[in-house]
Amino acid sequence: MTTYRVIAQRDERYWFMRVEGIGATQARYLGEATHMARDLVVTWLDLPIDTADVEIDLEVRLPSALRERVDRAIDTRAAVTEAAARASAALRDATWSLSDEGMTTRDIAFVLGVTRQRVQQLLAERETPSSVTTAQADAEHARRRGRTSPASLRGIFVGQAVSVASDEELFGTGEAWDVMQ
C-alpha cells in the first residue's frame, strides 16, 4: 500500500489540498478531503478506482492560534477520558470491597452516592468477568463470601467454565461435589 501525504488548508469557502508528489484538489468540507485526495491520486496515476491500494495521510493546517485551541481541547478531552477510567475503576473496587464486607446494595449505593442499579451493574461485572476464567472468578467469589462447602455453593455456578487449573486446586474442600441436585 502506498501512502500519500495530503496537506489541507482553508481557502475562504473551500479546503485546498496539496497531495505531495501528485498535485492539488479542493473540497467543500473536510469530510470529503480524503475521498477527493484519493480520487486525485487514482486519476493522476491512472489506477483502477475500486482496487487501488492507496492510503491518504491527511494533515489539516490551521492558523497557530486556532491550532493551540484545538490541541488544548484534544488534550483536555484525553485527560477527562483517563480520569473517568480511573474513577470507574475506583468505584468498582469500592463497590466490590463494600459488598465483601456484607453491605447491602442499598447501603453501598448510599455510601458511594450512586443508584442501587449502578451498584448491581458493578457487582454483576465481578460475577461475569471477561478477563478471568469463569471458574477462577467463581472460586474467588465463593472464597470471599466464605462459601467453602459444596452445599453453600449450589446454584452459584451456572453455565460452562473452562480453566487451566484442576478442580481440586479451585474447589478443594475435602467434600464430595454434587452440584447437579
| pLDDT number for residue 23 | 95
Residue with cell 481557502: 11
CA distance linking residue 39 with residue 19, whole number of Å: 11
| pLDDT number for residue 63 | 94
Query: If one looks up domain 2-61 in CATH, what number appears?
Result: 3.30.160
Report pTM: 0.52
Helices 105-112 and 116-127, axial angle in degrees (round to 10): 110
71 pLDDT more than 60:
yes
Q: Would you kindly state where each structural domain of the chain is located, as residue ranges?
A: 2-61, 87-171
Check: CB of residue 178 under 8 Å from CB of residue 146: no
> pLDDT (tens digit, 9 = 90+) per residue, 17-53?
999 999 999 999 999 999 999 999 999 998 887 777 8
181 pLDDT more than 50:
no
Q: What mean pLDDT do residues 64-77 have? A: 94
Q: What mean pLDDT do residues 73-93 have? A: 94
> pLDDT (tens digit, 9 = 90+) per residue, 84-137?
999 999 999 999 999 999 999 999 999 999 999 999 999 998 876 554 545 555
